Chains A and B, each alone.
Chain A
């Protein structure tokens, strides 16, 4: 387990790093500029040498800082997780320093965060989309992107030409099929939220 001594000495060492409210594992707030130094220190001096996850959060269009990057590290010596939360200062075109030179595992995680949230990781060796196709114009996990999608051309122009197909918004009749975040386990498992709309009943906004 991580003890108080560890936290205190770490916070003394990194004066810009602060503790953040957490319910489970220790969570630290760290600015963009300190991230690389902090990760290197945690990996080499504090045995947090396993990057478990790296992803992003969109706090909504009205939030003061819209995007933040969250990573989870694990130490086999402490046998505990550590969460690092960093705000992206630029809301329009969010940037973040890549940690893939410290943890190679971050490579694909960062590509995913770029693909889904549009966060540009500087100094990333190969920053391109990983799930959607390269020309896709949107970032699907942003809060302003509708689940059903937005009409765009099909990735392959020649296939689109013979089939007349395009990427269309999915119908929400009987859907979407999602999990809710509250309630007991039996209520929160994925199920169809009937958001049907027809000529008679309006599409819910």
Chain B
């Protein structure tokens, strides 16, 4: 058993649970990811498919897609980020409450994809810090589910008692 896991053995411990604050906080956070669907192009269709019954993202506890940034904590950038839209993406990211994570879904959001052109931002990580990149054009719903589980693993490894947001901002600016 790893040190970060929550463990409870009623026989031994009675009504007392001894654990680390990090472990509890992360456990709560990673099982209630509320995604913000930033659907900008064709990838958004696959995002919708992963929420629908066949792939059913709710099996992993992240089905509560919120269209308000103030109620969500993981922005899934699904689609082509144009320079004109970049401003909006950043503003929505700024409006999300901490802690927050970003998933770049598909080739376009990760690198600009096939759009090597004057109008398209070459990767959304230019303006927001990305936690997980998903390859594919578009990625299959399974790939997105895998990415979201990777994100859960990542959340599980964070040291949540420290305020991470300051660290993240610094990483973007550098």
Contact = CB atoms under 8 A, between A and B. Distances in A.
Nearest to A162: B173
B119 A132 contact: yes
A83 to B, nearest CB: 28
Contacts of B91: 156, 159
A149 B127 contact: no
A148 interface: yes
Given A159-B127, A170-B122, A175 B87 contact: no
Nearest to A173: B116
Interface in A136-150: 138, 140, 145-150
A60 interface: no
Contacts of A167: 83, 118
A170 B113 CA distance: 11
Contacts of B84: 131-133, 155
Contact of B116 (A133, A140, A145, A176): A176
Given A148-B117, A177-B116, A156 B122 contact: no
Q: Which of B83, B90, B169, B173 has the most CB of A within 10 A?
A: B83
B87 A170 contact: no
Interface in B73-92: 83-84, 86-87, 90-91
Given A164-B173, A165-B127, A155 B87 contact: yes
Nearest to A168: B122
A175 B118 contact: no
Contact of A175 (B86, B114, B119): B114
B62 interface: no
A70 interface: no
B116 A175 contact: yes
Given A162-B173, A165-B127, A171-B122, A176 B87 contact: no
A192 interface: yes
A40 interface: no
Interface residues of A, dominant DSSP:
loop
A86 B130 CA distance: 49
B169 to A, nearest CB: 8
A174 B119 CA distance: 18
B28 interface: no
B172 interface: yes
Interface in A5-56: none
Interface in B112-128: 112, 114-122, 126-128
A139 to B, nearest CB: 11
A30 B86 CA distance: 42
B11 to A, nearest CB: 53
Contacts of B119: 131-132, 140, 149
A170 B116 contact: yes
Given A170-B122, A171-B122, A156 B114 contact: no
B48 to A, nearest CB: 25
B87 A156 contact: yes
Contact of A176 (B90, B117, B172): B117
5 contacts: A131-B84, A133-B83, A147-B118, A149-B117, A155-B86
Interface of A: 131-133, 138, 140, 145-150, 154-156, 159, 162-165, 167-172, 174-177, 192
Interface of B: 83-84, 86-87, 90-91, 112, 114-122, 126-128, 169, 172-173
